[in-house]
Amino acid sequence: GLNERYVREWLNALTVGEIITYNPEYKTYHLPAEHAQYLTRKVGADNIAIYLQYLPTLGAVESQIVDRFRSGGGVPYEAFERFH
C-alpha cells in the first residue's frame, strides 16, 4: 500500500492547484473529465503529463543551471543522471 499521509498531501496539493476537486461532505476527491484529458495521449501535443518527467531531471541540476546563468557555459550531459 501507500503511505496515507503522503497520498493525502499529494491530493491536497492537486486540490490547491485546482487540478482535482474535494468534496468535504463525503471526503472524496474528483478528477474532472476536462482536466483528465490533459493527462492522456488523447489530446496529443496538449498532453502536459509528458513534461512532468523532466521536473526531477532538472531539479537535480538546478544549482548547476543557476550557476551557468551567472558564469556562462553549459551543464554537461553526464550531470543529468536520470536523463539517459
74 lies in the same domain as 37: no
**5 to each of 12, 28, 46, 71, how far by Cα in Å?**
10, 15, 31, 41
pLDDT in tens, the chain (84 residues): 899 999 999 999 999 999 999 999 999 999 998 888 877 777 777 777 777 778 888 888 999 999 999 999 999 999 888 766
Contact 74, 68 (CB under 8 A): yes
66 lies in the same domain as 30: no
- pTM for the model stands at 0.57
Number of domains in the chain: 2
40 lies in the same domain as 52: no
Residue 33: all three cell numbers together? 473529465
Range of the domain at 84: 48-84
1 lies in the same domain as 18: yes
30 lies in the same domain as 4: yes
